[in-house]
Amino acid sequence: MSAKGLVTYRSANASKVTTEEGQSYPAILRKKLKKHKLYAGDRVEGEIVGDQFVIEKIEPRKNLLTRPPVANVDNVLVVMAIKDPDFDNFLLDNLLTVYEYKGIESIVILNKADLAKPEELEKWQELYRSIGYETIAVSAKNEEGIERIKNYIQGDITILAGPSGVGKSTLLSRLLGIPIKTGEVSQKLKRGRHTTTAITLYPLDHGSYIADTPGFGKVEATYFMDKKDARLYFKEFGKYRCKYPDCTHTNEPGCEVKEAVKRGEIACERFKSYLKIMGYYWDELEHICS
Ligand SMILES: Nc1nc2c(ncn2[C@@H]2O[C@H](COP(=O)(O)OP(=O)(O)OP(=O)(O)O)[C@@H](O)[C@H]2O)c(=O)[nH]1
Ligand SMILES: [Mg+2]
Ligand SMILES: [Zn+2]
């Protein structure tokens, strides 16, 4: 019987496909596809043979993330704790730049609201909202704000991303309404020198799926793109026209972005992150932030 499905589990040596009818099967690749790579999030066609899904075709991917390895991602919930670990806006700005570059919608989740001073939470929430990111303050621990997240998830595949310890797995279990032991979801399989991650897409509602991912120490936008292109992925810079179209917003005359920072239209914290990505010394431009 021929069928269509989605790869909802992928590890180094096993995978699972869930069909449009919601049935899950262990999956294998038809011999002719053996050289092809298969990712969680891949849409596939094949045959159900016995209790196995034999994949005969992998649909072209609209995008592919490498860390975590997931294809066809529609949204990323970029999770940051406001405290414990301390909020790190440079890391957040790097992540947002990378997803912007990949053309994937980011939703900023400020977790551990229960530990934060309300002023601090407000400040960051306002800042990222003003750029145009949906920004939601939640407490996974106290189950506050969780339902609101669901309203902003659009499309079929969402992933949770963010540094270690910010509460991604706790949040996932709240979103799914099932108890998942912390540390159990993002299971790492060590194979010699290589560390491979098993990815599971969990069904949310109405055919949408969400994946937890293990946290990381740091992510730098410059691993993914040329630093001279970073300016294209700071959304709020887009509406300013500098004297030079290729202005790097550092030492050029007639820079409208710097003027906007001076006027307080672009947040100093964001501009500082940008300069750091550019490898530019902040001290030289510090005076433009009051
Ligand atoms: N106070 C407080 N603690 C929380 C909240 N959410 C999660 N935690 C705690 O933070 C710790 C880390 O949570 P995890 O869900 O494991 O974090 P993670 O982002 O999945 O971490 P990695 O899997 O290492 O990337 C746990 O001890 C949680 O109980 C919250 O909203 N408030
Ligand atoms: Mg986790
Ligand atoms: Zn400029």
Nearest alpha-carbon partner for 278 in 259, 257, 260 = 257
Shared domain check, 242 and 183: no
Kindly report, residue by residue over 50-89, the tens digit of the pLDDT. 999 999 999 999 999 987 899 999 999 999 999 999 999 9
- Whole-number Å distance, alpha carbon 253 to ligand 2 midpoint, is 46
**193 or 201, which is more confident:** 201
- Whole-number Å distance, alpha carbon 204 to ligand 1 midpoint, is 20
Domain annotation covers residue 163: yes
- Whole-number Å distance, alpha carbon 125 to ligand 3 midpoint, is 26
Query: Which of 170, 199, 200, 219 is the pocket-test mutation for ligand 1 (most atoms within 8 Å of CB)?
Result: 170
Shared domain check, 116 and 16: no
Domain annotation covers residue 216: no
Domain annotation covers residue 262: yes
Kindly report, residue by residue over 19-49, the tens digit of the pLDDT. 988 899 999 999 888 888 999 999 999 999 9
Compute the distance between CA of residue 213 and CA of residue 160 in angstroms, rounded to an integer.
6
- Whole-number Å distance, alpha carbon 111 to ligand 2 midpoint, is 13
> Does the pLDDT at position 190 exceed 80?
no
SS3 263: coil
In this structure, are strands 157-161 and 209-211 parallel, antiparallel, or unpaired? parallel
Final residue before a domain boundary, out of 182, 211, 240: 211
Residues 6 or more apart in contact with residue 57 via CB below 8 angstroms: 33, 44, 45, 46
Residue 190 one-letter amino acid: K
> Does the pLDDT at position 186 exceed 70?
no
Domain annotation covers residue 221: no
pLDDT at position 101: 95
Shared domain check, 238 and 140: no
- Rg (alpha carbons) of the chain, rounded to whole number: 21
Question: Using a 6 Å CB cutoff, which residues line ligand 1?
Answer: 111-112, 114-115, 139-141, 164-170, 182-183, 186, 214-215
Kindly report, residue by residue over 125-163, the tens digit of the pLDDT. 999 999 999 999 999 999 999 999 988 988 899 999 999
Shared domain check, 280 and 206: no
Shared domain check, 266 and 149: no
- The protein residue with its alpha carbon nearest to ligand 1, atom 14, reads 167
For 117, the token pair is: 């001073």
- Whole-number Å distance, alpha carbon 160 to ligand 2 midpoint, is 9
- The closest-lying atom of ligand 1 relative to the alpha carbon of residue 163 is 25
| pTM exceeds 0.85, yes or no | yes
Domain annotation covers residue 171: yes
In this structure, are strands 43-49 and 52-58 parallel, antiparallel, or unpaired? antiparallel
Domain annotation covers residue 94: yes
Question: Is residue 103 within 8 Å of 64, Cβ to Cβ?
Answer: no
- The protein residue with its alpha carbon nearest to ligand 1, atom 16, reads 182
On the question of a cis peptide bond just before residue 69, with omega within 30 degrees of 0, the verdict is: no
Shared domain check, 82 and 137: yes
Shared domain check, 86 and 70: yes
Shared domain check, 40 and 150: no
Kindly report, residue by residue over 225-268, the tens digit of the pLDDT. 999 999 999 999 999 999 999 999 999 999 999 999 999 999 99
Q: Which domain holds residue 41?
A: 2-58
